[in-house]
A and B are shown apart, each in its own frame.
Chain A
Amino acid sequence: MPEKVIGTVNLKRNFGNFTAVDNVTFNVEKGELFGLLGPNGAGKTTLLKLLTGQLEPTSGSCQVLDLDPAKDSIGVKSKIGIVPEIESPPSFLTGKEYLQFVGLVRDIEDIEKKADHWIEYMDMKEVQNTPCKDLSKGTRQKLVVAAALIHEPPLVFLDEPFSGLDPHYQKLMKEYLKGYLAKGGTVFMCTHILEIAEKICTRIGIISKGKIVALGTPRELERTGESLDSVFMRFTESSDASK
């Protein structure tokens, strides 16, 4: 029986009168690369924040690696890796120091070796001694990706991880994720780049106005011969119309 690493039941989050996530129920199993697709403001980031303990739900429940993020956010964050939507590493630490800092916070072994490995892997040697505030958007993005993966977590949450990365690093990232999945890792990824989702996700959920409006493998969603692009437009438009 497949091992469930993420599970939600009627998860809901309101901000005042606005419902950002509306009774969402779904599971993610070990070894999956689950892609959450949706237009801007659909609730992708809010759902990711609920799953990673950055926000508490208004109602409903969720489990991540057998922990409840609302009750034990530190426990969840210790086990997982998160690439946030906005790449904002600390201003005055250099890129390499930031990785070392994350290593110290997460109490990992061989901090120096692992930081060096990621600096090399992400081709950041030239800027490793530059304070993060002076790095380009793309380099900061590479850095937060490295910081999320340095402790080799069994589950990573990626919020628009390809944003700001040039095609070379997008390819590198995709290859890394393939290897990571092969080693038994699980990925939950929010994106609105349908092309990437179609190519690398093993299962896809489409969210619109806070509700999951479609769920399945790319093949299941494209069963009528439609492209993922058309499926996405159909589900998000019909959801808009129903409102």
Chain B
Amino acid sequence: MLSEERRLNSAMIGKVQFLMFPMMILFMSFVLALSSKQLLREMPMNQMYTILHSIILIYGIGVGGFALFGERIAQKRFGEVTMLLETPTIQPIDFRSMFLNFYVKDIIYYILYSIIPLTAGIGLTIPITGFRLASVLFLLLTITLTFLIGISFSFFLSSMYVRMKWIFGGIVLAVLAFILYGHFATAYDFTDYIPSFALQRTGDPLYVLIAAVIILAFSFVAVMTVKVKFGKASEKFSEVMLPTAKKFAFVKGYSTFMAKDWIDLIRSKTLIPVIGAYVGPLAFLAVLFWFLGSVLPLTLHFNLIFYAAMIGFFGVSIYGWLNLLDTTGFYEVLPVKVTQIVRTKLILFTILAFAMSTVFLIVLGFMQSELELLWIALIVAYSTTAYTVTSTAYLTGLRTNSYLFDPKILGKFSAIVIPPLIVLTILSLYYPNSPLISAVIMLVISGMLALATLLAFGKIEKKWKGESFSF
């Protein structure tokens, strides 16, 4: 399974690029560890550990959600990516064992691919920083446990979501209530209740045992309750292709493809995850700022314009989702160009993203009592969204989810997207001091982004015209 994972990723992004991702993590942790003395002047060690563990916990939760998509994985992967998951249907192995193998394989893969390089980067600085080897190895142990808690919790939650949504909702509410009560009642710090965090702080080996029990318990319940149906009865749908194409007639030459993508979005039940993938990170951002504000001695307030700039960045996830909806091989036998489909997805994305960002900013404007900033927030949101996603489409075509793992493309993407994002972020923070100057500069930047969007949109044809639909 690990060989298959390695070959799959190597085939998608190339062997060198595949190895560059852990190398990048190693390099970044190396640089951060080298600057630890300066960082320690600004922040106590314990807070640094808390932030590192929080990031690893969120990372683990993020990669562990695959049980949620168990059925979708089963449908999409058969014959396309791997036959391994289908093995239980044709070989004497039950699905639970197969899923457990997948789970363990993913854990090993992510630890080798990210956790170990992260720690190795710190370890390499030992001759310079004088860190003790034992401390680095201890950190490896604690962050591995944090990652395992994250991935097992996420796996557990997603299994609950698929099987018993009310239990899932109950658990999420209980966890949120626990965190919020601890924060607002200043009764406790909830991170003390995460054994790997506590292990890092106290060094008490009892927490290793507690962490192991929690990880095993989450994993056991998840594996026992995971649900994938093979050969389930198919649904019937009434005919909507022609009327839907008529509804999208306003996009002229793209109406047929738009209608197909829209039908896919609805019938694959992906619309809700798409909204989640867009609004989720923003909600995460809000929670993260609240969290950082609670552990750091800083008062953090981010205005509506700040969130407007961030929205554009998160739009990439919607575009990625639209590319995952269906295979595109069948276009190969039709008189259709890859660029037509890339543009279709961009147009559909624009409709979805503009609608969602408008609603999000209006609601947030009300909540933060900043409706007077709405006009400029909307301009910033629309321009950054269009710019970020058109750049993504230009760089990745229909293979967003593979190519964004290619460090070369990720590097280009970062170089294109991050600078304007940073400038807009700084301007949003500067806005209360000088609204007129900030607004004028933001309008100029938004105009430039709109122009760059048009340029990138035009260049998509040249970049992807010779591309095949068969991946």
Contact = CB atoms under 8 A, between A and B. Distances in A.
A31 B70 CA distance: 50
A211 B268 CA distance: 44
B264 A91 contact: yes
A144 to B, nearest CB: 8
Given A101-B260, A111-B242, A91 B335 contact: no
Given A88-B330, A90-B264, A90-B330, A77 B237 contact: no
B329 A88 contact: yes
Contacts of B234: 130-131, 134
B330 A94 contact: no
A133 interface: yes
Interface string B309-344: 000000000000000011101101111110000000
A77 B335 contact: yes
Given A131-B237, A133-B75, A92 B267 contact: yes
Contacts of A111: 242
B296 interface: no
B42 interface: no
Contacts of B241: 93, 96-97, 100-101, 104
Contact of B242 (A75, A84, A100): A100
B334 A105 contact: yes
Contacts of A105: 256, 334-336
B327 A94 contact: no
B330 A89 contact: yes
A55 B332 CA distance: 10
Nearest to A49: B332
A77 B75 contact: no
A82 interface: yes
B379 to A, nearest CB: 36
B236 A130 contact: yes
Contacts of A106: 334-335
Interface string B254-288: 00100110011001100000000000000000000
A172 interface: no
Interface string A202-238: 0000000000000000000000000000000000000
Interface in A70-117: 74-75, 77-78, 82-84, 86, 88-94, 96-97, 100-102, 104-106, 111-112
B202 interface: no
A91 B327 contact: yes
Contacts of B260: 90, 93, 101
B468 A54 contact: yes
Contact of B256 (A78, A89, A104, A129): A104
B73 to A, nearest CB: 14
B256 A88 contact: no
A131 B334 contact: no
A148 B332 CA distance: 12
Of B237, B241, B242, B333, most A-chain CB atoms within 10 Å:
B333
A52 B242 CA distance: 28
A105 B337 CA distance: 11
Interface in B227-245: 234-242, 245
A108 to B, nearest CB: 12
A111 to B, nearest CB: 7
B268 A92 contact: yes
Interface string A149-193: 000000000000000000000000000000000000000000000
- For A78, A89, A90, which residue has the most chain B Cβ atoms within 10 angstroms? A90
Interface of A: 52, 54-56, 74-75, 77-78, 82-84, 86, 88-94, 96-97, 100-102, 104-106, 111-112, 129-131, 133-134, 144, 148
Given A75-B335, A88-B329, A90-B327, 6 more contacts: A54-B468, A84-B330, A91-B326, A104-B256, A130-B235, A131-B267
Interface of B: 75, 234-242, 245, 256, 259-260, 263-264, 267-268, 325-327, 329-330, 332-337, 466, 468, 470
27 contacts: A54-B470, A55-B468, A74-B336, A75-B335, A77-B334, A77-B336, A82-B333, A84-B330, A88-B329, A91-B327, A92-B267, A94-B237, A97-B263, A100-B239, A100-B241, A101-B256, A104-B245, A105-B335, A106-B334, A106-B335, A129-B237, A130-B235, A130-B236, A131-B267, A133-B75, A134-B234, A148-B333
Q: 10 closest A-B pairs (Cβ-Cβ)? A: A134-B234, A97-B241, A82-B333, A77-B335, A78-B335, A104-B256, A92-B267, A129-B236, A100-B241, A92-B264
